[in-house]
Amino acid sequence: MTTHPIQYVTAADETRIAFTTCGSGMPLVFMPPLPFSHVEAVWTVAGQARWLERLATGATVALYDSRGTGLSEPGRADFSLRAQHEELRAVTRRLGWRAFALCGFFNAAPGAIAFAAEHPDLVTHLVLWGGYARGTDVYPLPFAEDPRLAAAHWDQLVDTAARAWTAGDGEQARATAAYFRTCVSPDTALRAFVAARAYDVSALLPDVRARTLVLHRRDAASQHPAVTRQLAEHIPDAALVVLPGDAASPFSGDIDAAVDVILRFLGAPDAPAAAAAPGADGAAADGAGLTAREADVLRLVARGLANKAIAAELALSVNTVERHLTNLYRKIGCRSRTEATVFALTHGYR
């Protein structure tokens, strides 16, 4: 098992938070996907270890356990957004990070979105996987807040969640279920899910200024693609990447391809170039048909510039920029600015 030194930091309310780091490169914080995090046991699941090791080739990755989970202080479980932000600030201050990229997967997404919106000076990039802004969109029914009930059904719930998470991969589902049990007690997990259902950061989406990448897998039955898509639609200039596969977990399926997209988005040096992807009509779209000026326009679209700003950057008229956009959309099989941004990010137009 890969091991990394575990350190502790004290949050504002005196709670002890466990964290570790791995890799080298730009600072990146991986917020714990509540309630399942354990900075030591995370390395026992092959897919999780592979993901982190690959991500660490282009970034210094900080992992930490929220209070009440993993190796952090037990008995003080508080899963409010305020508490999450206190933990995040405690870890990043200890590391001396004045700016960093932020990953928020699943239940960590609302906290990551809120932090990015409230601290535009700190968050340079935001990466969301299978996330949501409103908890009721993914947890429509209220939870029975009975710890005894949670304990009685804990094993069944964990096994079911692990199978859905990994798309039924038997060996990985068993390893994931064992990891889930290590991370948190049944009653603390219940409290985390009750808290998650109450999250609502939808009003903050337009305030996010960090470059944002939203990901999910196309055929993941346990994900909510319409909810994920709403994040990309309401966060300014966010890029949505829909990856092939049926596993909700980023740590299952084609791990390397998913991490490569993130590393390219972060601008990590030596991030591999992407292979050609199918366009909207199914034909190969590798960008070979773009003129040099169309490629320039596409790069600036991927940087989030509006048409007027692109025109000023390239000393063109706005009408000329619009004409280039129309032509390049047709050539790469895209129908919108978001789709063009995804194409640029995944085909090396930076």
> Is residue 10 scored above 90 in pLDDT?
yes
pLDDT at 237: 80
Residue 103: CB atoms within 10 A of its CB come to 25
Q: What topology does CATH give the domain 7-153+181-266?
A: Rossmann fold (3.40.50)
Average pLDDT, the chain: 88
3 state SS of 144: coil
124, two tokens: 């340079």
- Strand arrangement, sheet containing 59-64: 7-10, 16-23, 59-64, 26-30, 100-105, 123-129, 211-217, 239-243
Q: Contact at 8 Å (CB) between 188 and 35?
A: yes
Q: How confident is the model at residue 247 (pLDDT cuts 50, 70, 90)?
A: confident
204, two tokens: 């903050």
* Residue ranges per structural domain of the chain: 7-153+181-266, 277-346
> Is residue 71 scored above 70 in pLDDT?
yes
pLDDT at 219: 85
- All residues at 6 or more sequence positions from 327 whose CB lies less than 8 Å from its CB, including other chains: 294
Lowest mean pLDDT among 59-68, 115-124, 340-349: 340-349
Could you tell me which residues are beta bridge partners of residue 129? 105, 215
E strands within the chain?
7-10, 16-23, 26-30, 59-64, 100-105, 123-129, 211-217, 239-243, 277-278, 284-285
**87-130 pLDDT per residue, tens:** 999 999 999 999 999 999 999 999 999 999 999 999 999 999 98
- The CATH number of 277-346, from 3.40.190.10, 2.102.10.10, 3.90.79.10, 1.10.10.10, is 1.10.10.10
Could you tell me which residues are beta bridge partners of residue 217? 243
> For residue 18, what is the DSSP state?
E
Cα separation, 310 vs 322, in Å, equals 10
Q: Contact at 8 Å (CB) between 246 and 274?
A: no
**250-294 pLDDT per residue, tens:** 998 889 888 988 998 888 876 654 444 433 333 334 444 889 899
Amino acid at 163: R
pLDDT at 2: 58
